[in-house]
A = this chain, B = another copy of it.
Amino acid sequence: MHSFKIVRRVEFSETDMAGIVHYSNFFRYMESAEHGFFRSLGLTIASHNANSIGWPRVHADCDFRRPLRFEDTVEVELLVKEKRERSIVYAFIFRKTNTDPVEEVARGTLAVACIRKDPVTGAMSSVAIPEEIASLIEAAPEALLSESGR
């Protein structure tokens, strides 16, 4: 799989005194799409056993074009931009879907590293993405990514 979409409705607590969604929430929305993508693969980002792998964020960015307001519905499209041995880079496109036509409001990127946590010391070390996960994920076609401007 190389893509996934979620749709959310903007909540009151996500707005700020400017009357729009606080920009930090776009990064929460990205993560929500990433976790939905993992569930769509039959996986969960958060395994509960002690020596399990984790996905710390190493880079995030977002370009904001239009504001989102309370009760807007926003579609967050995730595209796998790069699959490397030890990390994944996702691209995101945010679209407001309660307008006609649908409006693109933002684009972002998230790079995550694959790590394993030592069950005794808690120390994290970079590891190759386990094959059972890596085999389910592939980079999106060039055409989709270039359309996304990423």
CB distance from A56 to the nearest CB of B (A): 7
Interface centre among A18, A19, A39, A59 (most CB of B within 10 A): A18
Interface centre among A15, A32, A57 (most CB of B within 10 A): A57
Total copies of this chain within the assembly: 4
> Closest residue to A59 on the B side, CB-wise?
B63
* Interface pair A58/B63, CB less than 8 Å apart: yes
Q: Tell me if A40 is interfacial: C-beta within 8 Å of chain B.
A: no
* Interface pair B71/A67, CB less than 8 Å apart: no
Interface string of A12-46 (1 = CB under 8 A from B): 11011111101111011001100100010000111
Interface centre among A46, A59, A69 (most CB of B within 10 A): A46
* Interface pair A13/B18, CB less than 8 Å apart: no
Chain A interface, >50% SS class? mixed
> Closest residue to A44 on the B side, CB-wise?
B71
* Interface pair B13/A45, CB less than 8 Å apart: no
- Give CA–CA (A70, B18) in the complex, Å: 11
* Interface pair A11/B24, CB less than 8 Å apart: no
